[in-house]
Structure 1
Amino acid sequence: MNAIYILWLRELKRYKRSRAQIIASLGQPMLYLLVLGFGLGPIFKRAGAGNYLQFVAPGVIGMSVLFSSIFSGLGLLWDRQFGFLKETLVAPVSRLQIMIGRTLGGATVACIQGMLVLILCILFGFRPANLSAIPIAIGFMVLIALLFAALGMAIGSGLQDMQGFQLIMNFLVMPIYFLSGAMFPLTGLGVVLSYVTRIDPLAYGIDGMRHAFGSPNVAFNLTLDAAVLVILAIVLLIFGAWRFHKIEI
């Protein structure tokens, strides 16, 4: 347990030292929030779907958590390149504890960034229907972060260079985000697109946050959202631990 705590704390300290990373991580969510939230707001309202800022804010929060958590696997490649990973793996600690510590660290950083984006959304006019439901929304942030941090670790464990990781992430992350319903409602879609969006795990996380924030534009049941994320998080944590165990020094 000490190893898990130390590695978790190390990820937090790395994030805390990088103030430029914190500022840069808020740039893209702010762009989506301002350009889409205010730019497409009149069109969304004329279509009878309500306030677009209220709709898109959970999607922007989910995007921030997704990007931060899944790119935590990039830190694994940095550590491999500079030798820290080798020192960690030869320590008298099980690889399972190392993987759990790093995954929890990446997920915690992602949740912190998600909270920062939530604060920005509130400053720009987003209003949750019930403030008491914010802990439920944070719970969905945690599930999204754990799920994709484990996926990032699994992918990072099988790669040797950062170029390969970036290619895979660009091929994987953007479709996950755009098919999650972050920017458009998941109701009333065509048959093919409807089925594709249903296999996107981020769709259930964003839909769960919309439930928590009181948005009427929801596609699934709240219990289904939570169940899918919990099951997938457990599966990907097991898969990530197996992939991490196969790393060769």
Structure 2
Amino acid sequence: MTAVPIPTVAAGQERAVISFSRAVGVIAARDLRRQIRRPGLLISNVAQLLFFIVIYAVGFDAMVGNVGSVSFSAFILPGIIAIQAATVGISTGLSYAWDREFGVLREMTVAPVPRMCLPLGKVVSTGVVVGAQSLLLLLCAPVFGLSLSAAQLAVAELIYLGGSAVFSLLGLFLATTVRQMQTLQACVQMTMLPMLFLSGAVFQPTGVPAWLAMFILVNPMTYLVDLGRQVMLGTEFGLVSIGVDVLVLAGLALGFAASIRIRVGR
């Protein structure tokens, strides 16, 4: 008589992880297919990137000149990519809210998977979009007068992928906190504009008045801009140390993820 194998706890956990990962992948693939079916949105995103390249690399560079040892266009390139990553990331919350508004979210919750799969799937799909856009801008670095090594290019790409996750979680945190669609749209705008303008993306954050420096330091996007700038240009352009940038962004991601987990339930 042969013994019947008893499933172990480890085997059960492995199946749970596989099921969780598969659900996240399905949701991410669904969002990506939906974006591909909207070519107008993709074209407008590419046009926006080209606008940044032409205006800042050609226009402002001739007007402003150099910032330290680099051109103005090279100085703001990390900020431009950070703006793109944060903008696309926060808009993830609006996508989540639209799914909730039209009942798609309710249909997804019927599936026997943890509800946290839903927001994480959107984070993954946003990461794919931001990764492609960031890579396009990084490959255009020579146009901005900046030469990047293969290592700098790879690290910078990872930074902006991580940044997209942080701001996607911020957008999802807003979407799970604010239930009314119109109110959420206003909250997203009120959140984005101060972050973009007070991040030091298009100006030097050092030497500003003390009251403005305080707002810059409490701005989450400041640390994404600063981290990308130090990797691409050198630590002499940093506002704080690279370790502080990483710790702040990681702490924000964990905090937003924990808050979303509490709101969406199991």
Structures share fold, TM-score greater than 0.5: yes
Counterpart residue type for residue 147 of structure 2? P
- TM-score, normalised to structure 1, is 0.88
Where do 1:159-198 residues align within 5 Å?
159-198=178-217
TM-score w.r.t. the length of structure 2 is 0.83
Q: Is the 8 A contact 1:128 1:214 kept in 2?
A: no
- What fraction of aligned residue pairs are identical, expressed as a percent? 25
Which residue is equivalent to 2:154?
135
Distance verdict in 2 for CA 1:149–1:47, change over 3 Å = closer
> Where does residue 5 of structure 1 map in the other structure?
25
| Per-residue Cα deviation, 1:101-133 (whole angstroms, up to 9, x for no partner) | 2222223322222223333x3363442343321
Distance in 1 separating the partners of 2:67 and 2:86: 29
Q: How far has the Cα of 1:243 moved from its partner?
A: 2.6
Pick closer, same or farther for the CA change 1:243–1:25 going to 2, 3 Å: farther
Contact 1:66 1:110 in 2 (8 A): no
Match of 1:153 in 2: 172
Instruction: Provide the rounded CA distance (Å) in 1 between the counterparts of 2:67 and 2:216.
Output: 22
Classify 1:47/1:91 alpha carbon distance in 2 versus 1 (closer, same or farther; 3 Å): closer
Q: Distance in 1 between matches of 2:159 and 2:212?
A: 24
Pair 1:190–1:237, CA change in 2 (3 A): same
Q: 1:95 is paired with a residue of what secondary structure?
A: coil
The partner residue of 1:114 within 122, 131, 134 is 134
Segments of 5+ residues of structure 2 without an aligned counterpart are: 1-19
Counterpart of 1:60 in structure 2: which amino acid? Answer: I
**Structure-2 separation of matches of 1:126 and 1:77:** 40
CA contact (8 A) 2:199 2:219 kept: yes
CA offsets 1:8-63 (integer angstroms, 9 cap, x no match): 22222222322221221233343334323433223432675630110111111111
> SS of the counterpart of 1:40?
helix
Of the three residues 210, 221, 224, the one matched with 1:205 is 224
Residue ranges of structure 1 left out of the alignment (5+ in a row): none
Structure 1 or 2, whichever has the larger Rg, is 2
Q: How many residue pairs end up in the alignment?
A: 245
Q: Report the CA distance shift for 1:150/1:57 in structure 2 as closer, same or farther (over 3 A).
A: same
> Given the superposition, is the C-alpha separation of residues 221 and 81 from structure 1 closer, same or farther in structure 2, using an over 3 Å criterion?
same
Which residue identity is paired with 1:75? S
Partners of 1:117 and 1:23 in 2: CA distance: 15
Contact 2:227–2:246 (Cα < 8 Å) also in 1: yes
Q: Distance in 1 between the 2:69 and 2:27 partners?
A: 45
In the alignment, is the contact (CA less than 8 A) between 1:58 and 1:206 conserved in 2? yes
- Cα RMSD after superposing both structures: 2.2
User: Residue 17 and residue 89 in structure 1: after superposition, are their counterparts in 2 closer, same or farther (change >3 A)?
Assistant: same
Q: Deviations over 1:62-98 (max 9, x none)?
A: 1111111110111112212322111011222211222
